[in-house]
A and B are shown apart, each in its own frame.
Chain A
C-alpha cells in the first residue's frame, strides 16, 4: 500500500482529513486557472507532491494521455497556422487548447493522488465497511506468499478460506489495519502551515493571472 512509501514526515504531521480538505480547497482555484504557464507549474508541483505522498506515478500512462488528448484536439484547427503537412494544419490555438485540457486532467489526478490517502476514514456505515475491507485486504496482501503460481485458483481459494474463518471470530472487533494505526490522526502546526502555503499559493496564482 502507498502508506508504506509515503514520506515519513508527511505521515506523522499531516492527517488524511487535512489532506482531503486541502485537495477540496485547491480544486476550484486549479480549475478556474486559465494560464497555460501556471498550469504547467501546477502539474509539476502536484506530480512532485504525489511522489512525496508515496504514489508511484505511471509516467508512460500520463505522457500517453497528454499526447493523445492534444493530438485529438489538433484535428480541429484554430488560430495561427504553425506548420502544414499535406492537408493537415498544425495550429497554435488547437495546440494550446489540447495541451491545456490534457494538463488539466492529468493535474487533477495528481491532486487526487496527494489529497486522498489510504488511511482516510469515511463516516457512517459505508466508512465502517471500508475499514473492514482494508483490514481484509491487508490480510490478503500479508499472506500472498501462500499463493502458488502453478495452482493460483486452489491456493487462492485456500487463502480466502483461512481469512474467512478468522473474520468469523472478529465480529465485534473494530477492524483497523497496521498501516492506519501508524499515521497521524491530527496534524501538527508545521503540517498545517505547509498545507496552507500550498493551498494559498494556488489562489494567489489565480488572482495574479486574472485578466
Chain B
C-alpha cells in the first residue's frame, strides 16, 4: 500500500464522501447525456456508467452496488421519475449490468478490458429493459424491436468502455480515490 503523509491522511475524504462524489460524477454525466440530441427517445448511451466502470477494479462489490443505487436514486430524484416505471427499468437494468460486469471482471481478471466489461454490462442492462418493456408496456408483439435495440446498446457499451479506458489513462484524480479507498477499506488491497 502507498504511504500517506499525516497531512494527506487528515484530508482523506470518508468512504461516504468518496461514494458521494463518484455518484455525483455519474449524475453529471447523465446531465451531459441529456443534452445530446437523440434520433429516437429510447436510445441511451449510458455515460453515467463511466464512474462505475473506472472504479470497478478496486471498489468492493458492496460499494459498487451502493454506488449504482445512489446513481439510480439520484437520477430518479433529479428527474422526478423515482415513482414511475422509468425508475424501475433503470434500477433493474443497472443491477443486471452490475452483476454481469462484476462477474466478467472476476472471470476475466486483467485479461478483459473495460470495453469488454462495459459491453457485457450494456448487453445485460438492455436485455432486462427490453424484456420488462415487452412484458409490461408494449406487449409481446414488440419483440421485433429487440434486435436493433440490443445492437445500438452494444455499440453504446463499446463507446462507454473506450471513454472509460481513456479517462483511466489520463486521470490524476482516480489514483487518489483508489489510494484513499484502500486506506479506508483495507481488505480492498488484497
* A and B are interacting partners: yes
A61 contacts B70, C-beta separation under 8 Å = no
Interface size on A, residues (CB 8 A): 62
Binary per-residue interface labels of chain A (98-125) against chain B in the complex, 1 for a CB within 8 Å, 0 otherwise: 0001000100110111111110101000
Q: Which of A69, A129, A165 contacts B11 (CB 8 A)?
A: A165
Given A60-B41, A65-B41, A136-B24, also A130-B77 (CB < 8 A): yes
Give Cα A164 to B66, complex, Å: 19
How far, in Å, is A7 (CB) from chain B's closest CB? 14
Name A's interface SS: helix
Binary per-residue interface labels of chain B (5-49) against chain A in the complex, 1 for a CB within 8 Å, 0 otherwise: 000001111101101110111011001000000001100000000
Q: Which of A72-80, A83-91, A186-194, A200-208 contacts B (4 or more CB under 8 A)?
A: A72-80
The residue in chain A whose Cβ has the minimal distance to the Cβ of B77 is: A118
How far, in Å, is A159 (CB) from chain B's closest CB? 9
Q: Which of A58, A126, A144 contacts B41 (CB 8 A)?
A: A58
How many residue pairs, one in A and one in B, have C-beta atoms under 8 Å apart?
154
Q: Which of A61, A167, A171 has the most CB of B within 10 A?
A: A167
A114 contacts B80, C-beta separation under 8 Å = yes
Contacts of A154 in B (CB 8 A): 170
Given A69-B138, A118-B78, A135-B20, also A109-B173 (CB < 8 A): no
Give Cα A130 to B73, complex, Å: 8
B12 contacts A168, C-beta separation under 8 Å = yes
Q: Which of A117, A137, A167 contacts B28 (CB 8 A)?
A: A137
Give Cα A136 to B85, complex, Å: 27
The yes or no answer to A36 lying at the interface (CB within 8 A) is no
* Contacts from A to B (Cβ < 8 Å): 1-2, 20, 23-24, 27, 50, 53, 55, 58, 60-61, 64-65, 68-69, 72-73, 75-76, 101, 105, 108-109, 111-118, 120, 122, 126, 128-130, 132-137, 139-141, 144, 153-154, 157, 160-161, 163-165, 167-171, 175
